[in-house]
Structure 1
């Protein structure tokens, strides 16, 4: 099938912009996370609302399969084509360590990796979409309430996941008596509970805080890190071995661990909750209480709820594990089962921190309340900054070195802890090279926690976290317009802050951001009104576009349903839901071309075509065959939509335009509408400048008027035959109803059965600001046809048209 652009090798320029290596056109990542259901196994199915006793949660932990996540290969054409029709050009492929190495240390699931490779080949076949691998995790593992690591890693650290719920070591949706009423976002509090804290402390700083934890002749830190890196090295190496053709084409590379966490590193007084612990929900033990509960001792624990001003203590709760421990014992035989060989100093059945003298597991006394605040050997005071610039960077260097041994040219994407200041490594070749990018995450906290688009009140989350305000109350933002501006400002500040630390030549990509769809207690699922979701998503997407920030949106989930959302901890972020899909099933075919043609519908359109004036050159990216329709556009009342440079001195021969414009009343073509099942379509489906000769100065899309405005400082490309590529989704724009005004150059609309786009040719210009505006002909709002201040006759007088 012909494409509107082919995935070609990308490079990074001196300003941190992605560009096609051969043409110099700037590429903007407008991507999607694909897909959130890959956190969960297919066999047996273990969606988080399922009771542990009914889904083999623990019993099948070693023998699960992730083959078929995110969907069977037979469904790939449909789902990949749907995201392409939305305008997305990049996939962040969500994978988990558990999916690769669930059976035990060093035992890889080749069937799963080969399934994933076949899916990557399908993406290559479909074309026009880049993809990179995301080693995903949330609060360490499914067995500690999130996703990511296999169960044996918890046993390796000496924990017993079967007892996490009773000891408050983790809070799992699986154990909820009323799973539909599971507390919103309570899963995220697991980052501050015992299981997750132990695992991240061991993973990143085990050699500092648990030096006696030796397993298979390695400290637990090196043991866990080596297995994690080796598992993803195995995957990437196998991809390159089995599908070498996608390297340098659709396959971009791999990100480091998703949302890493420092565990207890830098924690102050273990008697108290951290002042940085802004998320407090339900039972919230202090660290020493968590240690005691983990050893089976009862505790009176404070409980919290969340209000608009932050967490509020609403009572206490007596929690008694009745002697049950969160630590594995010799009687469980897990060491024998997985082949672990521990040092004699590591006693199973006892808290690992008690074994290092932090507290007395017999009396419950806290001995070293600042154990994690002060380096045990050097006496250095520790904090988040030192974690990111110390242990975290050492892990990144190890990960980077391993990946570079596999491939020197793929992109490696560094992800520091969420919302923390990235490491100070600008121009440091130990950690960076010319194929490095930086990943950031951003969610609007108010919308996330309350699952509501509040048009009246929000907060400057980043400003509060960075200590910008004397009192958080001053971080309040009032009014929808100001809220939208605040989101844009926060995103810009995050990107600027990151580039300052990591380097202005390192591209920033927001690999996660999004909005929940189950707003207002799922009202939209009853009345079909997705206006709040539309406006909320538009606020984020507009901010990203306005600042021209690379991103991969969270998320697409082919199994999303109204009752359980994304099937994971009641999250509901998917832009697609099978409960909103009303079409008949698609027919299966053996190849993509046949699938598209066989499922497309013939439509009759009335179209204007211009056949000789303002010749637009062949792009080298698409062939003018029956499957691609192309035509130059003119608008006789509003001047040429594709201005001829030979007459760009301020006048246009309108009579010539009229003479060369012909109307075809019965123009037949085929089109495959894949928007069914999408939610908040008006906001999600957007125009996208994909490849641009120059720098984008402004990019704005108004979802209400459909006005799209693009301002570019143009550069002369390496080849004068390759124009800019701008996706203009057919969902918003029918060729008979749009008006295109280009201040310079020629424009041509092209489309195939999936995608519609503009090719904008301004190849003979350089170092000049030019603009492109798209509006609907019958739109009541056609103000500011171009930012340069000229439209209509005024534009001609100024010489811009």
Structure 2
């Protein structure tokens, strides 16, 4: 949230770090020293903020303030209404600026929203799969909501810290960490915690006491559902606001990525909603390792061996995400656009960057990256899913202290440090053969099958034609440097060499199959 919003609800953001209420790089990382600093700011730990009180309190107020603390007013308005109205107002301002751009087809609801404390028992610390939470534990502090409220009020708190044990292939408790040892409250002078006033907990004799353990879980015998009770109404507000400017815009909806899609998209989402969920190979993303051909998941303890098995695991994961679209648009279903996926390019302690600096310009240092991307795209092709890769950063550097310029993430498909030929569009690209690949860019009909074999260059696309419209297939020179041959069953194709495309039309058949082979 912007700093002024913390201030508006009564939180002093200048005290978050000192109170241990947020995990902020600018305070923990020594920029002058640079490089990786696992002891200060471990790899990919920014996302742990979802569990820290500064973050969790704001998400809870944003989505569910009217339910859990309806009497908490901000500038005369219920906190939830105040926060959402300012968010929607910002979205509306952007919408008005871009409404005449033909390439804008809709708006995302909110990037990677958090559930805050919704659905959590007050004293529950997630140390591993349980009846309350079947998912594996994640590295970092195992905050309970009560821990968060205590630290926010200025109480010191011992909290278990979880970490990966690669030998045990598990996330285990490493130690207890004393949080907020100096007893600093993050609530501004004269501002009380709205959840304390709502009867969630109380302070007595310098200790915190839970008054309603299941306050965020259920009420009057009914369990709260984040998706149905809070995300659904929010989706409706977003759609209403942006469609007041352009009624044809789509809504690209996202649920909490940490909930495993929860109960799925609520059935009463606005019409013309697209499933825009994000997906990553969470082990590769969080550890910056892609172990191949034997892949170990320390969160589940499972081992996956070989390219086919890894690809199959991706198909299962992405298939569940795609299936979540079935409940959209009142059960009639909707497209799934993978709003984000990708890989960190600084795998294995930035081994590829070090090879580049040593003068290696071959594809060898990027082999793991290429294989990982190839398997992900193979899975997407099997499922005929649309996707957008995160990300392209024009200022990316082959520097572990910089990367994409945000919390040491380094997922950019391009780095300025690798650009050696300004006349070559591919110069600066990373592991290009993993994702610059043939695919059907526009289809005059219904896609049935798409498959590409990177090692041989064999590509096949099958579709059910709808009339004689034009189907466009991207055929990149990068994969076919010596050209390619084409065979079309049930149609004919012409080449558009300038745009690296095949233009296909059905002829005398409603089923068309296109096969491309490398020369």
SS at match of 1:317: strand
Matched residues in 1 for 2:83 and 2:327: separation?
32
TM-aligned CA deviation for residue 581 of structure 1: 1.2
SS at match of 1:234: helix
TM-aligned CA deviation for residue 476 of structure 1: 4.4
Match of 2:320 in 1: 493
Match of 1:742 in 2: 488
Cα deviations by residue, 1:749-788 (Å, 9 ceiling, x for unpaired): 1133xx31111222x33433x32111122xxxxxxxxxxx
TM-aligned CA deviation for residue 200 of structure 1: 0.6
Unaligned runs of 5+ in 2: 357-364
Cα deviations by residue, 1:707-728 (Å, 9 ceiling, x for unpaired): 21112222314xxxx4211111
Match of 1:699 in 2: 450
How many residues of Structure 1 are paired with residues of Structure 2 in the alignment? 491
TM-aligned CA deviation for residue 189 of structure 1: 1.0
CA contact (8 A) 2:122 2:210 kept: no
Cα deviations by residue, 1:245-301 (Å, 9 ceiling, x for unpaired): x2xx32211110111122111111425347547454344443323222222222223
Matched residues in 2 for 1:723 and 1:185: separation?
44
Q: State yes or no: 1:228 paired with 2:57.
A: no
Q: State yes or no: 1:314 paired with 2:174.
A: yes
Matched residues in 1 for 2:212 and 2:125: separation?
9
Equivalent residues in 2 for 1:432-471 (5 A)? 432-433=270-271, 435-458=272-295
Query: Which ranges of 4 or more aligned residues in structure 1 deviate by more than 6 Å?
Result: none
Change in 2 beyond 3 A, CA 1:682/1:166: same
Matched residues in 2 for 1:497 and 1:235: separation?
29
SS at match of 1:533: helix
Match of 1:410 in 2: 249
1:676 to 408, 415, 427: 427
CA contact (8 A) 1:158 1:352 kept: no
Match of 2:472 in 1: 725
Equivalent residues in 2 for 1:93-112 (5 A)? none
Equivalent residues in 2 for 1:33-182 (5 A)? 149-178=1-30, 180-181=36-37, 182=41
Q: State yes or no: 1:572 paired with 2:314.
A: no
Q: State yes or no: 1:216 paired with 2:68.
A: no
CA contact (8 A) 1:723 1:761 kept: yes
CA contact (8 A) 1:255 1:412 kept: yes
TM-aligned CA deviation for residue 328 of structure 1: 2.0
Unaligned runs of 5+ in 1: 1-148, 330-346, 465-471, 585-671, 778-801
Matched residues in 1 for 2:265 and 2:53: separation?
30
TM-aligned CA deviation for residue 408 of structure 1: 0.9
Query: TM-score, length-normalised on structure 1?
Result: 0.58
CA contact (8 A) 1:716 1:766 kept: no
Equivalent residues in 2 for 1:420-439 (5 A)? 420-421=261-262, 423=264, 425-426=266-267, 428=268, 431-433=269-271, 435-439=272-276
Cα deviations by residue, 1:215-270 (Å, 9 ceiling, x for unpaired): 12211000000110111011102322xxx2x2xx3221111011112211111142
CA contact (8 A) 2:264 2:324 kept: no
CA contact (8 A) 1:548 1:696 kept: yes
Equivalent residues in 2 for 1:231-270 (5 A)? 231-240=90-99, 244=100, 246=101, 249-270=102-123
Change in 2 beyond 3 A, CA 1:184/1:424: closer
CA contact (8 A) 2:44 2:287 kept: no
Match of 2:220 in 1: 379
SS at match of 1:711: strand
Query: TM-score, length-normalised on structure 2?
Result: 0.88
Matched residues in 2 for 1:459 and 1:264: separation?
31
Change in 2 beyond 3 A, CA 1:500/1:271: closer
CA contact (8 A) 2:70 2:78 kept: yes
CA RMSD, Structure 1 to Structure 2 (Å)? 2.4
Matched residues in 2 for 1:255 and 1:320: separation?
37
Matched residues in 2 for 1:751 and 1:737: separation?
10
Q: State yes or no: 1:508 paired with 2:333.
A: no
Match of 1:775 in 2: 517
Matched residues in 2 for 1:162 and 1:321: separation?
17
SS at match of 2:455: coil
Match of 1:556 in 2: 392
Matched residues in 1 for 2:353 and 2:297: separation?
30
Cα deviations by residue, 1:568-623 (Å, 9 ceiling, x for unpaired): 11111110111111134xxxxxxxxxxxxxxxxxxxxxxxxxxxxxxxxxxxxxxx
SS at match of 1:305: strand
Cα deviations by residue, 1:665-690 (Å, 9 ceiling, x for unpaired): xxxxxxx6300011001112111211
Larger Rg over CA atoms: 1
Cα deviations by residue, 1:422-445 (Å, 9 ceiling, x for unpaired): 64555x4xx332x32121111111
Matched residues in 1 for 2:77 and 2:213: separation?
26
Matched residues in 2 for 1:353 and 1:223: separation?
17
SS at match of 1:676: coil
Match of 1:481 in 2: 308
SS at match of 2:11: coil
Change in 2 beyond 3 A, CA 1:570/1:279: farther
Change in 2 beyond 3 A, CA 1:506/1:320: closer
Change in 2 beyond 3 A, CA 1:306/1:701: same
